[in-house]
Amino acid sequence: MAIENIGVYEFLALAKSHPIVDVRSPKEYNHAHVPGATSLPIFNDEERAEIGTLYKRVSRKDAIKAGLMYYGAKLTAFVEAVEAITDTSTNTVLVHCWRGGMRSQAMAWLLSFYGYDVKVLTGGYKAYRHFVLDMLNFPYKLNVIGGFTGSGKTEVLVNLQKRAIAAINLEHLAQHKGSAFGNLEQHKQPSQEQFENNLVHELLAYLHLNENGEWVQKQTIWIENESQRIGDIDITKSFYGTMLKSPIIALIIPFDQRLNHIINGYGHYSTDVLENAVLRIQKKLGGAVTKEVLTYLAEKDIRSCFAQLLRYYDRLYQEAMVKSGRKATLIHCQTINATDNANQLILFFHH
């Protein structure tokens, strides 16, 4: 069978129906990879380090010999691993390494020899990363859902997604809810690089290349109003700039409704966990308010505790809106019902 070197656009288009084999080391893959790719390292981390040292300190030929020794012992295992991720409907496999060099070419030769039609990503993962960063500069058409903390904005986004309406949940991609209380479930956040890869992967679902080779957006994408930093993840300056320029529609929901929503979401955590979250923002809360909130916690008065914290986050939201100079379109909602509030957003834009 043939081996063909292809560019990023074609590679990602084929990836919708064919498996991607990432032959970089486990450390490289775990740091960040193309979404959906299967890790099949030609060399483990130790082998890669050894070969790299030989290449730099001894010679290219010695490095190749060492590589062939490790590679040759795994040929059958490589073929069987690829068989496990393919099915009878396709004989095409997509392969890449870091720069499209010896590792991807070695795997391509083996799989082609075995009978696969192999497509190798020209420039490797490095070329893909350039593509990702370029796509984050695209002038996306966004609608931004705003509103005070506890307004159920994320639930509305999820509801829109269930209706096959273009929507992206940044907090889900970042594995963080975006405040001092945003990671109480101790989810491990992806690397910054992986977050960017995942975001572009979702954005591409709403783009297509026209006959002139230009990206065209098929529909406006709903997204939640976020700070530029979500936990340890930064939304890139270019994409965040696009968010700030986009129309913002704020859900206005009664304080008690939002307070109940917050208590349902966070009230079950232990006092120690909640106390640690409060202490992370004590400088911003101020000494008197921090002491008051911690006293409520110690007395198991969760409602008063979260009411005080909610007033703090309301003040932050108002200050951020004033500072940004943005004017939001207000949609008044009586309750936090994702279906009803999503309907209001949709009706607003239909009219």
Cα 86 from chain centre: 26
Helix (H, G, I), strand (E, B) or coil at 231: coil
Write the DSSP symbol of residue 175. Answer: T
Alpha carbon distance 58, 324 (integer Å): 57
Count Cβ atoms within 10 A of the Cβ of residue 140 and give its class: 0-12 exposed, 13-18 middle, 19 or more buried: buried
Helix (H, G, I), strand (E, B) or coil at 130: helix
Q: What is the 3-state secondary structure (H, E, C) of 264-298?
A: HHHCCCCHHHHHHHHHHCHHHHCHHHHHHHHHHHH
Alpha carbon distance 178, 343 (integer Å): 25
Residues contacting residue 95 through CB under 8 Å, at least 6 positions apart: 20, 21, 23, 104, 107, 108, 111, 118, 119, 120, 121
H-type helices in 73-225, by residue range? 75-85, 102-114, 124-135, 153-162, 170-174, 192-203
Is 305 labeled as catalytic in the residue annotation? Answer: no
Helix (H, G, I), strand (E, B) or coil at 200: helix
Alpha carbon distance 160, 166 (integer Å): 7
Angle between the N-to-C axes of helices 302-324 and 287-298, in degrees from 0 to 180, rounded to the nearest 10: 150
Which of 23, 42, 97, 170 is catalytic? The answer is 97
Phi, psi of 233 (to 5 degrees): -100, 135
Alpha carbon distance 178, 348 (integer Å): 27
The residues annotated with a catalytic role in the active site are 97
